[in-house]
Every structure is written in structure tokens, then in C-alpha cells.
Structure 1
Amino acid sequence: MPRASVSPPWGSDIADTITSLGDYFVTADGRQLITVMDAALDASARAGKPVRIV
């Protein structure tokens, strides 16, 4: 199937602020999920403790 004929299931109805897949995933308070996860993993590594997701 040619690439141009494939579209995401949500179509093109997304916010103008979303310019990459990283922008698409946000937390309930509006922060980028990948940035939050990166900070959590970094803090976990520095503290020598596992990340706990609840």
C-alpha cells in the first residue's frame, strides 16, 4: 500500500500544537508524557530506586 494512502485512525482532526508523536501524548495536567517519563527515569537512576507507576 502506498504511504500516501494511509492515514491515522483519528484522521487529521488534531490540535495545531501537535507537530510530532511526542506532542500527542500528554499527562492529565498537560505536560508531555515523554518528558515526564524521562525525568522520572533520570531521578530513579540517580537515586538508585525503581520507578513506581501507580
Structure 2
Amino acid sequence: MLAAPDIDVDVFRAQIDVIGPLSPPMAILVSRHDLALRASELLSTDRPEL
């Protein structure tokens, strides 16, 4: 399991490459109402985050 309030897309891709294929596949849970994610989005640069 990967758990983070936010994670850079490039970091996520690198971690997935190391982990490799999963059985069962990975599920990504998100919430539009997460205040920590919203604060991070406001403070972050122009780089997309997951």
C-alpha cells in the first residue's frame, strides 16, 4: 500500500515501476473533500500531483 496526502506523478510512476504488476490490480482511492489535498494543491507548483 502506498499512502500519502499527495504525491508527485513522476514519483508515483517510479514507485509503480519498482513494484511491477500486481494481482489483484492496484486501486487508487481519492476524495474531492480532502482538506489536506486542497491545501497542498494551493501550495504546490505547476507540477501535477496524484
TM > 0.5 fold call: no
Using CA pairs below 8 Å that are at least 6 residues apart, which structure has the higher relative contact order? Answer: 2
TM-score (normalised: structure 2): 0.29
